[in-house]
Amino acid sequence: MGQSVGSSLADRNSVTYFESTNTAKSSQVKLTDNYRVRIIGIAVITALRFGFYSSEMLAGTVPFSWEGVRDNFIFTFISAILMWEVSRAVVVYFHKISPISKSSDWRFLVEALYLLAANGLLYALTMALYFYLDFEAHPPYVFILFGFLDRFLYGILIGGFYELLFLVKAWNTATQEAEQLKKVNLLVQLESLKNQVKPHFLFNSLNTLTGLVETDPDRAVKFIAELSKVYRYLLQSNEKELIGLSQELQFTEAYFFLLQTRFGTGISLDVRVDESAQQLQIPPLTLQILVENAVKHNQVSVRKPLRVEIRSEEKWLVVENNFQPKRQAAPSNGMGLNNITTKYRLLNQPQVQIFNDETNFTVKVPLLTPLPA
């Protein structure tokens, strides 16, 4: 996960994010523009209304005539098309201005009022056309009132049908993303554990510990204690999607102690995080990946010290280090930064920001508000 490829990783994950967003939008378009759904829905509405309006004729209370059946069917069919398309347009409009992820009770109430107004206007135009074609028609007011309620109820039925489709689609999407997030969590945990327990890390840690036991027993005891904290945190955070920033910082300090024991004054860590920010949350092992990223791909020595800074900026956490790449850097697969950006995307959070210039490498990750218990 080389820092030299930070910008390309940011671009790649930006593309992935917008592809995911566009996919979600296109799925909504498919739901509302699906002609099969519209044809079946219009057919069902037509059958219901045709049966209702033809009940008197079929019961024999009104003289039967094929001309009457034809006119009745044409009227109900055209009405069903208009009601369906008008109600569908209202639902599409509301999903454009207020996605289902931000829906509230007030939103559905306002949508119902819009359906009432749209279908009421449609009914008024229908009645105006009816009176225009038949000047002598004088239907009772009760008939007009029930006709209005009929249109509104069918509009609610159609709108509710589309909202149900959106809810089912959103539930399926959320379930799939939850599964993806679990897989990403597992990848991050396995990658971190692999990086920590790989032979050269253990060799370096034991070699450092051996030297301390001979020269500074007290510091050796401290080294063992911090090493145990590192592994304990790795095991405890295995099944968590988010963890408190204060806990992540405590782990990072323990991890950094191991690095500083090895590199001495060749590396330094400056933490400046507000107390309020420490109450927020972050995906576990995010800081470990970023600090390890800095050590892995930069020169670390007394002559060229590596300075790592962790600071808070409102609801963002900034991890920055001076950029001094190794002359013979190890090949990078970008796994670390890619995992971090993917986890934030699956959590539907703001995108991770990555900046790289000639002097500094900077990563900004969002801090997340804990959900109420």
Q: Is the pLDDT of residue 242 over 80?
A: yes
Residue predicted with more confidence, 136 or 254: 254
Residue 27 in any domain: the answer is no
Whether residues 127 and 267 share a domain: the answer is: no
pLDDT more than 70, % of the chain? 74
The predicted structure's pLDDT at residue 334: 65
Q: Assess whether 334 and 285 both reside in one domain.
A: yes
Triad 102, 158, 48: Cα angle to 5°: 165
129 in any annotated domain:
yes
Cα dihedral: 27, 100, 338, 188 (round 10)? -120
Whether 157 and 206 share a structural domain: no
Domain count for the chain, please give it: 2
Structural domain contains residue 169: yes
Range of weakest confidence among 196-205, 269-278, 283-292: 196-205
CATH number of the CATH domain containing 333: 3.30.565
**pLDDT over 50 (residue 326):** yes
Query: Are 102 and 59 contained in the same domain?
Result: yes
Instruction: Say if residue 9 is in the same domain as residue 49.
Output: no
DSSP structure class, residue 364: E
- Whether the CA torsion 231, 220, 300, 319 is positive or negative: it is positive
pLDDT band with cut points at 50, 70 and 90 for residue 19: very low
Do 169 and 203 belong together in one domain?
A: no
Residue 313 domain flag? yes
Distance, CA of 344 to CA of 349 (rounded, Å): 5
Which stretches of 199-299 are DSSP H helices? 199-215, 217-236, 245-263, 286-297
Averaging pLDDT over each range in 255-259, 291-295, 306-310, which range is the top one? Answer: 306-310
With a pLDDT cut of 90, the percent of the chain lying above it is 20
Round to whole Å and give the CA distance between 108 and 116: 12
Using a cut of 0.75, tell me whether the model's pTM lies above it: no
Last residue of a domain, one of 176, 210, 229: 176
User: Does residue 126 belong to any structural domain of this protein?
Assistant: yes
pLDDT at res. 366: 95
pLDDT for 53 beyond 80: no
Among residues 176, 206, 224, the one where a domain terminates is 176
Indicate if the pLDDT at residue 308 is higher than 80. Answer: yes
Structure-block tokens of residue 164:
């149900």
Asked if 302 contacts 266 with a C-beta cutoff of 8 angstroms, the reply is yes
Most trustworthy range by pLDDT among 107-116, 143-152, 283-292, 342-351: 283-292
Confirm whether 372 is domain-assigned: no
Q: With respect to residue 350, please indicate whether it lies within any of the assigned structural domains.
A: yes
Containing structural domain, residue 210 = 3-13+198-366
Residue 315 lies inside a defined structural domain of this protein: yes
Q: What is the CA radius of gyration of the chain?
A: 32
